[in-house]
Structures are given as C-alpha cells and as structure tokens.
Amino acid sequence: MANKIINNNKILLNHIFSILTQTINLSILALLFSLESLFILQKWGPVYHSLTALSFLIFTIAKHHLSNPSPLYLVDFSCLKPPTHCRVPRSTYIEHVKMLDFLDEESVSFMAKVLKHSGQGEQTYLPPAIHFIPPKSSHHEATQEVHMALFPVLEDLLSKTNTSATDIDVLIVNCSGFCPSPSLSSIVVKKFGMREDVKSFTISGMGCSASALAIDMAGDILKSRGESNAVILSTEILSTGWYPGRDSAMQVLNCVFRMGAAAMLVSNKREVRKRAKYRMVCSVRTQRAFDDKGYYSAFRDEDSDGFTGVCLNTDLLQVAGETLRSNITILGRKILPYTEMIMYTISVMKKKYFDKSMEIYVPNFKSVVQHFCLPASGKPLIREIGKGLKLGEREIEAALMTLHRFGNQSSSSLWYELCYIEAKEMVKKGDRVWQLGMGSGPKCNSLVWECIRPIVREAQRGVWADCIDSYPR
C-alpha cells in the first residue's frame, strides 16, 4: 500500500511538473508578444524590436537545450549463471539423445558431429525440462524456465546498480519462441511490483539480434519520454523450442542453443553519467526480409511428420554475409574516418566499372573500435565474420570463448561477451565497443558504445569469476 501511494505521488508530481513547464513557456511567449505589440503601438525605435527578437532567440535556444534529449547511457548489465545441475557435457547430451526412440543412428551421428564442430565446451547449460528423457515441452515447464532465467538476473542488476523496481520507467523483454499470456513483461511486472504507469513491451520472433534491437528501441522510447530509466531483459526459453523430429536441418538448433539471460539498465538521465559504464555512440538496424532467399534462410515450419522446428537453409551463411554488408556500410558512414570511406568507395567503383574480379576494400574498423562482440552462433560463423572484417584472434576472442563456456545463448550472448572483455580488464576509458547482433528475418543490428569510466574489479563479480583465468584456451 505504501509503495502504491508513493507511485501515485510520483505520477501526480510528474503531471504537475509538465503542466508547470508548459505554463511557464506559454507565459514567456505571451510576455514577448505583448512587449513587441507595445513597441509597435508606441512606434518605438528599431533597437527595441531588436531586443524582443534577441530575447525570443535566447528563449528558443534555451528551450532547445533544455528539451534536447541527453545521450543514452548503459548504466550496467548482468548475465545469468545457471545452476550447476543444469550443466550438460557433450557426452551426456549424446547419451541422452541415444535414448530417444524416435532418433536413428544417422540422426545421433549427425547431432554428435554438429556438437563437435560447434565450438561449445563441456560446461554449457540446458534448462531442467530438456534433461528429461524425452524432453518436456509443456507450458508449465517453459514458465518455470522464465522464472529461473529472468528473476535472478534482474535481481542482480537492481542490486548492483542500487536501483528499485519502482525506478524503472520502461521495461522491454525479448524472447523469440515463447509468447505466453499474460506476457513475459507482465510476469516480470507482477513479480517485482513495478509501477502502474511503467511502459512494458514484449518482443518475440526477432532471433539472436533481439537484445541489440531492444536497446535501440529503448533509446527511441526514452527520447520521447524525457529523462527516464529502461530495463531490457534478454533470453531464449528452450523448454518449448525442442524439436522432436528427424529432419537434420531442424535438429541443428537442438544442438547449439543453450540456457542464458541478460539484464541491462539504460538511461538518458543526466545524473547517471557519473556512474554509467558506457555512452551510446550510434546504432544501426538493417534487414533483408524483402528477399525470398533471406526470408526463408531460417524459418519455423512443420516437418513431414507434423513436428514444428526451425529449419536452417543452406543459403544461411551467404544471406548472413549480405545482411552484414548492408549494415556495416551504413555503420561505416557514421563512425569511420573519411579516408577509409574514400578508399572503400573507390574500390567499389573500380570493381563495378573496370575490374569485376577485384575484391572490394574492407574498411579498417579497428581504427575506431577497440572491442568486438560478434554473433556467437558457431565457430565457423565467428571466424567467417572475423575474416570478412579483417579482425585478428584478439578481436574474435570474446565470441569464441563465450561460445566455448556458455554456448550459443541467442540474443543474450552479446552481453556475456562484453562481460568477458570487462573481466579480462581490456576496456579502458575512451575505448569503443561494437556489439553486432544477427538474427532470423534476417536482421542485423549494431550498437557502438564508448566507455566513459574505468572498468575495474569485474572479474571478481561476473559470470566469468570462477574461470576467467583459464581463458583464452
């Protein structure tokens, strides 16, 4: 009851402040208009008209400055470390798969091969529902996984940022495959007793790029709201995503996706700058859903036996390259120096009009970005993206090590990678971090952050605390 009274008082104060601000603005404009009318009626000299014009100019500049939205800050973030009993070594996974009577030797052999070449280690996690033989895929099990994934990670974020759930103005939850009613955001609002005027959103079907997309979405919402706090919760619920069939194109996701979740607090409040870790430099979102080849490259469908799964097309890598190319072209215009853009443009012109066999110049993103968080979808894709961007082992290290320790956690993987970079104490004040999310649709979302304060002692409190000294391996 006390919290509800406090929340109602906050809402009332916000309305009063908004009305007061508009009243002051209208009063100033009315005063200037009255003065100018007086000067005209009294036929006073030009100097008085100039004074009115100058006053109006100062008012306009001041209003623009005060109303101009402040940058988007990443105050802090947290990643989920699932309980130890959820770990699934590769040998255990294959042993369980062999016990499934609907899979033949060919299917088991295929899944073992995918696991071997995926880049995953022996300590990745699957939710309890997948440990059953056969795995459980009920609504109840999926809801329990939501509680296990989202509640602890949000509690940790609120604790480490000294933030109350009632301080959250915007809540965004992203999960591609599980869309219950009430929504995931409603489940979180109820659990944490958030305010009645919190703006809550649930994003589904956006794939591995969803957390980067949600950050961009939060930034747009905060611009329209004024100074506010937004929390983004990112996860993938696997309990309902298990494919119980024999189609190898659909079995791949059973092998590569693992349990994980991340929570991020972003804000455009000016006072958070002193404690925030990063400032948003820019964000870029592109997609290729207009193209049939791209649209069907990763597609949820039914197999010949009526079982639902996500089919990965053989064109997936080519589509990923085309989607990435369009994204980095736009990103490059925003952050690269003119010399790099000129060299890129010249190479494109040469290839188009003079020598079609020549390779297009790849801009040197390492000249403006120090750290890279790449899609952790698999070792081959990570290395292919690294090769395409001319990145070295150091730049792709975070993605490879995250994949090895935690597996492909869909949209939350980008935050485990950033956590890895911080735990290694690589990030210095002034450094830039590029988070690149790619998902079905297909979509490509880029976030570029600038570190605005020293990042210290993260190795002792993050998800990498018990193993960071053993990486890279």
Q: DSSP secondary structure string, 226-257?
A: -S-EEEEEEE---TTT---S--HHHHHHHHHB
Q: Which of 338, 382, 377, 366 is nearest to 431 (CA)?
A: 366
Q: pLDDT above 90 covers what percent of the chain?
A: 52
- Average of pLDDT values for 376-393? 90
- Give, rounded to a whole angstrom, the gap between the first and last alpha carbons of the chain: 53
In contact, 310 and 300? CB cutoff 8 Å: yes
State how far the alpha carbon of 410 is from the alpha carbons of 30, 80, 281, 377, in Å. 55, 13, 24, 7
Task: Read off the pLDDT of residues 314-368 as tens digits, 9 standing for 90 and up.
Answer: 777 788 888 888 898 889 888 988 888 788 778 778 777 777 677 777 788 999 9
Q: Is residue 397 scored above 70 in pLDDT?
A: yes
Q: Is residue 65 scored above 70 in pLDDT?
A: no
Task: Read off the pLDDT of residues 155-187 as tens digits, 9 standing for 90 and up.
Answer: 999 999 999 999 999 999 999 889 999 999 999
Q: What is the 8-class DSSP label of residue 87?
A: B
Phi, psi at 408, each rounded to 5°: -85, 110
pTM of the model: 0.84
Task: Read off the pLDDT of residues 266-296 as tens digits, 9 standing for 90 and up.
Answer: 999 999 999 999 999 999 999 888 888 878 8
- Average of pLDDT values for 119-146? 93
Task: Read off the pLDDT of residues 85-115 as tens digits, 9 standing for 90 and up.
Answer: 999 999 999 999 999 888 889 999 999 999 9
